[in-house]
Chain A
Amino acid sequence: MSYDQLTPTPDADSKPFWDACRNHQLMFQKCAECGDVRWPPSILCPQCHCRDAEWIESVGKGTVYSYAIYHQAFHPAFAAKLPYVVAIVQLDEGPMILTNIIGCPHESLACEMPVQVAWDDVSEECSLPKFLPIL
C-alpha cells in the first residue's frame, strides 16, 4: 500500500459505486422489494433480504448524522491534513455514508447540518465524495 495516498479497493459489490464516482455520480442500490436505499453495496437487502435491487443516483444532499475531528495521524498520508473532519452523512435518499466534511470552520460543525457532495479527484482512477455545508 502506498504511503502517500490511500484509495478504495473496490470489490464485486462496491465496484459500480466507485466506477460511478469517477463520473461524479453518487449511486446507491434501492431494494426492489421494500425500497430501502442501502450502503454499503451488497447482494442482499439488509432490511428484507431481497436479492433484487436497482442502482439509483443520489442528488448528493443530506445532513450530518455525526462528525469527529482527527487530531492525530493514524497513517502518514494524513499527517499534513490535521486536524480534519470525518463524518457520517445521511443522504436525503436514506443511506448513511462515511465521508469528510470540507470547507467548514470546525466551530460551525453540528449534527443535522445540511451538506452537499463535493468531489475530490484524487487521481484519474479515483474520485472521493466529500461534503460541503449548504449555506
Chain B
Amino acid sequence: MLEAGICKYVVITYGHSALWGGGMYQMLLQLTGNEAAFGHFGAVGGYALAAMRGMHEFSTGPETWKHIAMGQRKWANLNPAAMMHKKAMSEEDYYNAPMVVEPLRLFDNCLINDGGRAIIITTAERARDLKQPPVLIAGMGHHNPSNEIGQAKYMAGPTGAKKAGEAAFQMAGIGVGDVDACQIYDCFTYTVELTMQDYGFFGRGEGEDWFKGGTIEPGGRMPLNTSGGQLSEAYYMGLTPMSEAVMQLRGQCGDRQLGPKTNTKEPEIILCSDNGGILQSNACYIFRKG
C-alpha cells in the first residue's frame, strides 16, 4: 500500500490491559475451547507440550533454557523501562522458581502487563526526510503451517520459522553470519531456542552449547532480546522485538545500546521474529540501518 501510494504512513499498534478486568483469562479460555474440560488452558500448557516433545526428540531442557532466561534478564537490568530492571536472576533463582506447567518453570514464561507500543512504517524515501534516523526492512518471510494443535506434528521443529527465515534471508540477500543481533519473540524460553534453531543459527540439539557462556548477553557474540524481551521487559506481542530492533539500529538504547557501551558489535543488521498460536505461525523480519 505504501509503495503503491495508497497510503503514506502505517501505524502498527498493540495495547493490552492484561492485569485487570479478566481480559487475559478470557483470551486464554477462547484460545483453549473444549480443551478446558481436560484442564488445558491457553499458551503455557501448549508450549509445555511442545517443550516436552522437544526434550524427547533432541537435546534440550532447563539446562538450555536457563541461559535464555538469565541472559535476557541481564539486558533488562540495563533497561530502566523493563519490569524486571532491578531484579537480578541467578541460576539458583531460575531452578528454585515454581513449576507452572512442567517442564516450564516460572522464568521460562513471559510477563503479563498493562501497556502498549507502536511503530510507524513509511517509504524509505519519506523516512529519510523525517526527524528520526530511518531503519529499513531488508527482508521478511511468513509461514503458517497449521491452525489446530491436534494437527501440529512439528512441536520439536521444524516450525514455520524454517520457511519464514529462509524467505527473509533470501529477500535480504544475507545469511545468518551477517546478523549482528536478534530480537526473537519469546513467549517462552523454548520458543527462543526453537526459533533460533529453525532459522539456522545452530544445529538441532546444539542449543545448550550455543547459548552457554554468555552468547546472548551483554558482551556476547550474538546479543538477543536486548530490552529484556517479553521474559524480562514487557509483553507487547511482536512489537517488543520489533521496536527494540528499530531503537537499537537508531542508537537510542541508553545503557543497553549495542556497540562499545555493551562490548558488542555496533549493529547494522538485526533479525526479528514473531510467532502465533502454539508454534503455528511465524514471521521473520530483517532490519538494516538506514
User: Which residue of chain B is the closest to A39 with respect to CB atoms?
Assistant: B150
Residue from A66, A70, A71 in contact with B52 in the complex, judged by beta carbons closer than 8 Å: A66
Partner of A96, one of B38, B51, B100, B150: B150
The reply to whether A71 and B99 contact each other, CB–CB distance below 8 Å, is: yes
Query: Could you tell me if B52 and A9 are in contact, using CB atoms closer than 8 angstroms?
Result: no
Q: Which of B37, B53, B98, B155 has the most CB of A within 10 A?
A: B37
Nearest A residue (CB) for B35: A98
A46 within 8 A of B: yes
A residues 65-84 with Cβ under 8 Å of B? 65-72, 74-75, 77-78, 81, 83-84
* Bound CA span A99–B40, Å: 9
Interface size range on B against A: 20 to 34
Within 8 Å of chain B (Cβ to Cβ): is A118? Answer: no
Chain B residues with Cβ under 8 A from A72's Cβ? Answer: 98-101
Complex: how many Å from CA A39 to CA B150? 6
Q: A67-B52, A97-B150 are in contact. Are A8 and B37 (CB under 8 A)?
A: yes
Nearest-CB residue, chain A, relative to B52: A66
Chain B nearest Cβ from A56, distance in angstroms: 17
Number of interface residues of A (CB under 8 A): 41
Are B38 and A99 in contact, CB atoms less than 8 angstroms apart? yes
From B28, B148, B152, B155, contact of A74 by CB (8 A)? B28
Residues in A neighbouring B38, C-beta threshold 8 A: 86, 98-100, 128, 130
Residues of A with C-beta under 8 A to B50: 66
Q: Does A60 contact B (CB under 8 A)?
A: no
Q: Which of A66, A69, A95 contacts B99 (CB 8 A)?
A: A69
Within the complex, the shortest CB–CB distance from B113 to chain A, in Å, comes to 18
Q: A75-B36, A81-B39, A110-B56 are in contact. List 11 more A-B contacts (CB 8 A).
A: A8-B34, A8-B37, A65-B53, A68-B49, A68-B52, A69-B102, A71-B99, A71-B102, A72-B99, A78-B39, A86-B40
State the B residues within 8 Å of A (CB): 28, 34-42, 45, 48-53, 56, 98-103, 148-153, 155
